[in-house]
């Protein structure tokens, strides 16, 4: 049941801390802070390429996974929408790895991509939340997200659990390949293990996000911006807002604004920016400043170090706990999901069962 929550989605949002902790504990030993990956169907040291394939939010998790694996393990990675991969006919190297990401393990397009990648000689690893699912059965190996059943059509806790698994995989690959120094591994695993507590702190008081939701609920169009690993989270924010509140939203890479979308900037189009401090902060902040100078209303998520610079031009700044930039996409996923939830509640849409959608899309 929903317990004391109004919707399954609200309950599931509040399960982020527990699910993140449970999932991370499967792959990281809290005492030694070392990543311990299960047996994999390919050797991360020799693998020539990783091809991710997934749909919807799972595809966005895969995109974050691509940034992580490239950064710490230096393996070439592709990430495709499963329905596109099926018909794209990409050249695939002998012995390459295919990673399928899916909450249900039953999504028709992802399953078809799995079969295609397997036929083409790829070693298939699925990241699924359902151990007995079709994808788990048809893969050479499976790693599980420990999210528990997710009832709301919107993927919430399953999404952050996918991120937790993919971050662990990236660190495990980096360790195996020697591209990640032991001290760096310890620093990043420590940062990951702190995420559940930060998530809990963030969920304790969502009054600022509720205030932001009241403004967003008035809009007809909304832009979400991010850079690097926050770019897929901007896409996740836009996807959640669309599917739950039926407000038109788009996610963009902040640096891409001046190539077209900046023409949309207008006081009626709120700009939600994901801009934590870190190596990309100045770049994103300057894109936001350009949008503000053209009348854009900037609503930014950042941390204490990023807040002062953004307050000079942003209408609202929501300060999240300070974390290592490596884990920032996990932490930022939570407020954008919360925002979509609150906007949907304000608009009175069917939060757990949005129109036209199914929890598992088992047709092509
Ligand atoms: O079960 P899957 O993870 O394969 O589902 C993929 C998508 O259908 C799913 O993530 C969808 O985009 C969600 N409704 C997004 O919240």
**From the CA of 312, how far away is ligand 1's center (Å)?**
37
Q: Could you give the dihedral angle defined by the CA atoms of residues 256, 262, 264 and 267, in that order, rounded to the nearest 10 degrees?
A: 130
Q: What's CA 251's distance to the chain center, in Å?
A: 13
Is residue 153 lining ligand 1, measured as CB closer than 6 Å? yes
- Report H helices in the chain: 8-14, 16-27, 56-73, 82-88, 108-119, 134-138, 157-177, 182-204, 207-216, 231-245, 281-293, 307-311, 328-347
**From the CA of 311, how far away is ligand 1's center (Å)?**
35
Residue among 112, 52, 141, 27 at smallest CA distance from 364? 112
Closest ligand 1 atom to Cα of 158: 3
Q: Are strands 221-226 and 34-35 parallel, antiparallel or unpaired?
A: unpaired
Ordered per-residue pLDDT tens for the chain, 364 residues: 899 999 999 999 999 999 999 999 999 998 888 899 999 999 999 999 999 999 999 999 999 999 999 999 999 999 999 999 988 889 999 999 999 999 999 999 999 999 999 999 999 999 999 999 999 999 999 999 999 999 999 999 999 999 999 999 999 999 999 999 999 999 999 999 999 999 999 999 999 999 999 999 999 999 999 999 999 999 999 999 999 999 999 999 999 999 998 999 999 999 999 999 999 999 999 999 999 999 999 999 999 999 999 999 999 999 999 999 999 999 999 999 999 999 999 999 999 899 999 899 888 8
SS3 49: coil
- Cβ contacts of 100 within 8 Å, gap of 6 or more: 52, 53, 54, 82, 110, 113, 114, 117, 124, 125, 126, 127, 128, 135, 139
Cβ proximity of 99 and 114 under 8 Å: no
Closest ligand 1 atom to Cα of 107: 4
Q: What is the CA radius of gyration of the chain?
A: 20
Q: How far is CA 267 from CA 212, 220, 256, 291, 315, in A?
A: 15, 11, 20, 10, 11
Residue among 3, 363, 362, 327 at smallest CA distance from 193? 327
Is 0.95 exceeded by the ipTM? Answer: yes
How far, in Å, CA of 148 to CA of 125, rounded?
Answer: 20
Provide the 10 A C-beta neighbour count for residue 194: 15
**From the CA of 60, how far away is ligand 1's center (Å)?**
10
Question: Which residues belong to the active site?
Answer: 359
Please tell me the residue having the least CA distance from ligand 1 atom 4: 102
Cβ proximity of 156 and 359 under 8 Å: no
Closest ligand 1 atom to Cα of 56: 12
DSSP element (H, E) containing 93: none
Phi, psi of 269 (to 5 degrees): -115, 95
Cβ proximity of 325 and 67 under 8 Å: no
Cα dihedral sign, 34-125-156-180: positive
How far, in Å, CA of 172 to CA of 34, rounded?
Answer: 9
């Amino acid at each position: 049941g929903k317990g004391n929550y109004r919707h399954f989605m609200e309950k599931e949002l509040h399960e982020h801390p527990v699910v993140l902790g449970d999932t991370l504990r499967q792959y990281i030993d809290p005492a030694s802070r070392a990543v311990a990956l299960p047996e994999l169907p390919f050797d991360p040291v020799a693998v020539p390429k990783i091809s991710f394939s997934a749909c919807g939010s799972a595809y966005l998790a895969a995109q974050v996974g691509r940034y992580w694996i490239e950064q710490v393990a230096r393996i070439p990675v592709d990430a495709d929408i499963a329905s596109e991969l099926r018909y794209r006919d990409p050249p695939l190297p002998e012995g390459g790895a295919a990673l399928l990401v899916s909450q249900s393990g039953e999504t028709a397009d992802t399953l078809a991509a799995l079969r295609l990648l397997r036929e083409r000689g790829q070693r298939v690893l699925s990241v699924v939340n359902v151990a007995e699912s079709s994808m788990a059965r048809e893969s050479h190996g499976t790693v599980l997200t420990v999210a528990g059943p997710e009832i709301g059509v919107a993927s919430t806790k399953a999404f952050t659990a996918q991120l937790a698994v993919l971050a662990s995989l990236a660190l495990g690959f980096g360790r195996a390949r020697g591209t990640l120094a032991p001290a760096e591994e310890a620093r990043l695993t420590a940062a990951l293990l702190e995420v559940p507590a930060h998530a809990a702190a963030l969920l304790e008081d969502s009054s600022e996000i509720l205030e932001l939701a009241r403004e967003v609920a008035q809009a007809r169009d909304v832009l979400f911006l991010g850079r690097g690993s926050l770019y897929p989270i901007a896409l996740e924010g836009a996807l959640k807002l669309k599917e739950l509140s039926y407000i038109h939203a788009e996610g963009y890479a902040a640096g891409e604004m001046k190539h077209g979308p900046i023409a949309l900037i207008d006081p009626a189009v709120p700009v939600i920016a994901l801009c934590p401090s870190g190596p990309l902060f100045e770049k994103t902040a300057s894109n936001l400043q350009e949008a503000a100078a053209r009348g854009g209303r900037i609503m930014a998520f950042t941390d204490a170090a990023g807040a002062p610079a953004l307050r000079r031009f942003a209408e609202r700044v929501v300060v999240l706990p300070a974390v290592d930039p490596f884990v920032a996409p996990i932490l930022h996923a939570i407020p954008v999901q919360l925002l979509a939830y609150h906007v949907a509640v304000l608009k009175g849409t069917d939060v757990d069962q949005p129109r036209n959608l199914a929890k598992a899309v088992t047709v092509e």
